[in-house]
């Protein structure tokens, strides 16, 4: 699989599926559709030991496809499941601790930046990426305008890559790409109908290949 280094790439957020086999199949199928940079695995409502089992099932599936597996929140789960990184959804203190403890051994990034000041505070920690939006924030077809505006401002000024949460329409990936962001995160847009996930990943990659702006070296 060729990796497009010079345009916005796709990040998948694992859907909330209670059945571990179904969840793993949905993710494996989606990853067959084309280039995916990384996959974020949220805990949703699972208790810690069940989340551990899901993570141990999903991480190898993600890594086998050449993507990075990022566990949302729990560093112990990330360690036991041999994930590539940690996505911190909590506050600045949690992100600070994770960056200090786990970089460069693990990829560490996160978000909850609600404004520019917040974002710059996160940037001072030098995480591997900043995330604009919430992992379950895809509630409309388009990406949230505030996240697009923050991402565009960030991408024009700061070298740390950013991921912007897209909407429920796969075409929202292009909206995100046009801001100059390095990554677009999709969840419902890809997994609303798991059987369609591979073709949607392929379609999003084709759209980005054709229309996403190219980064300059």
Planar angle of CA 29, 32, 36, nearest 5 degrees: 110
Q: Provide the β-strand partners of residue 108.
A: 86
The confidence score (pLDDT) of residue 2 equals: 61
Percentage above 90 pLDDT, the chain = 93
CA 124 to chain CA mean position, Å: 21
Q: Return d(Cα 93, Cα 87) in angstroms, integer.
A: 14
Which tens digit of pLDDT belongs to each residue from 89-98?
888 999 999 9
Q: Which of 202, 123, 116 is nearest to 153 (CA)?
A: 116
The confidence score (pLDDT) of residue 26 equals: 98
Domains of the chain (ranges; CATH) run: 9-211 (3.20.20.70)
Q: Is the pLDDT at 3 greater than 80, yes or no?
A: no
Q: Return d(Cα 38, Cα 93) in angstroms, integer.
A: 24
The confidence score (pLDDT) of residue 111 equals: 87
Question: Which helix H or strand E contains 87, and what residues bound it?
Answer: strand 85-88
Q: Is the pLDDT at 1 greater than 60, yes or no?
A: no
Mean pLDDT value of segment 182-211: 97
Lowest mean pLDDT among 3-12, 156-165, 179-188: 3-12
The confidence score (pLDDT) of residue 133 equals: 96
Q: Return d(Cα 174, Cα 184) in angstroms, integer.
A: 9
The confidence score (pLDDT) of residue 109 equals: 97
| Report field, pTM of the whole predicted structure over 0.85 | yes
Q: Is the pLDDT at 83 greater than 70, yes or no?
A: yes
Q: Return d(Cα 14, Cα 209) in angstroms, integer.
A: 23
The confidence score (pLDDT) of residue 182 equals: 97
Confidence class of residue 74 from pLDDT cuts 50, 70 and 90? confident
Please list the alpha-helical segments (H only) found in the chain.
Answer: 20-31, 48-64, 75-80, 92-102, 116-124, 145-157, 172-177, 188-191, 197-211
The confidence score (pLDDT) of residue 139 equals: 96
Q: Is the pLDDT at 80 greater than 90, yes or no?
A: yes
Which tens digit of pLDDT belongs to each residue from 31-41?
999 999 999 99
Q: Is the pLDDT at 217 greater than 80, yes or no?
A: no
């Amino acid at each position: 699989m060729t990796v497009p280094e010079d345009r916005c790439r796709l990040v998948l957020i694992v859907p909330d599926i209670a059945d571990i086999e179904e969840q793993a199949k949905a993710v494996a199928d989606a990853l067959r559709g084309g280039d995916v940079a990384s996959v974020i695995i949220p805990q949703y409502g699972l208790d810690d030991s069940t989340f551990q089992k899901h993570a141990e099932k999903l991480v190898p599936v993600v890594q086998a496809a050449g993507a990075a597996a990022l566990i949302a929140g729990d560093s112990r789960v990330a360690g036991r499941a041999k994930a590539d990184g940690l996505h911190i959804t909590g506050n600045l203190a949690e992100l600070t601790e994770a960056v200090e403890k786990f970089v460069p051994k693990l990829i560490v990034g996160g978000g909850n930046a609600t404004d520019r000041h917040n974002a710059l505070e996160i940037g001072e920690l030098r995480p591997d990426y900043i995330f604009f939006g919430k992992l379950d924030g895809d509630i409309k077809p388009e990406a949230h305008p505030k996240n697009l505006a923050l991402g565009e401002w960030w991408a024009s000024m700061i070298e740390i890559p950013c991921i912007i949460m897209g909407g429920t329409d796969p075409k929202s990936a292009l909206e995100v790409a046009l801001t100059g962001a390095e990554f677009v995160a999709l969840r419902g847009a890809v997994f609303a109908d798991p059987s369609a996930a591979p073709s949607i990943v392929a379609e999003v990659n084709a759209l980005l290949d054709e229309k996403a702006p190219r980064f300059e070296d």
